[in-house]
């Protein structure tokens, strides 16, 4: 009878040990899941930063294009002023009525 009691106590201890180990495995699994979520967010953030940095590297080209466009707009404004003067010089058109 003493051996059987000792065996049951040992079995209960082993079950408790396995339950503790199972709890640790479940906690580790949950933590790894959180790490995976953070890793995905970091990957997405890194991709966004990469796209932004690519855009920053293209800014000198944008600056050149904007300067060129600005020059063309100045030329267009001058041409429109000339057209306005021409239209206002036509008979029957009052000055300022074109605006």
Distance CA 30, CA 25 (A): 9
Where do the H-state alpha helices sit in the chain? 2-57, 59-88
- In the chain, the N- to C-terminal Cα span, in Å, equals 113
The number of beta carbons lying within 10 Å of the beta carbon of residue 84 is 14
Full pLDDT tens readout for the chain, 99 residues: 789 999 999 999 999 999 999 999 999 998 988 898 888 888 888 888 878 877 777 777 777 887 888 888 888 888 888 887 887 777 766 655 545
Distance CA 57, CA 51 (A): 10
pTM, two decimals, is 0.48
Q: What is the pLDDT of residue 24?
A: 92
Domain residue limits, the chain: 1-57, 61-99
Write down the residue that tokens 């009691």 correspond to: 5
The token pair that represents 26 in the structure block: 């479940």
């Amino acid at each position: 009878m003493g051996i059987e009691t000792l065996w049951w106590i040992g079995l209960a201890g082993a079950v408790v040990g396995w339950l503790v180990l199972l709890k640790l495995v479940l906690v580790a699994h949950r933590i790894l899941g959180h790490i995976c979520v953070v890793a995905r967010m970091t990957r997405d953030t890194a991709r966004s930063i990469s796209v932004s940095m690519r855009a920053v590297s293209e800014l000198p080209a944008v600056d050149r294009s904007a300067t060129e466009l600005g020059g063309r707009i100045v030329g267009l404004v001058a041409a429109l002023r000339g057209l306005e003067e021409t239209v206002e010089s036509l008979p029957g058109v009052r000055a300022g009525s074109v605006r």
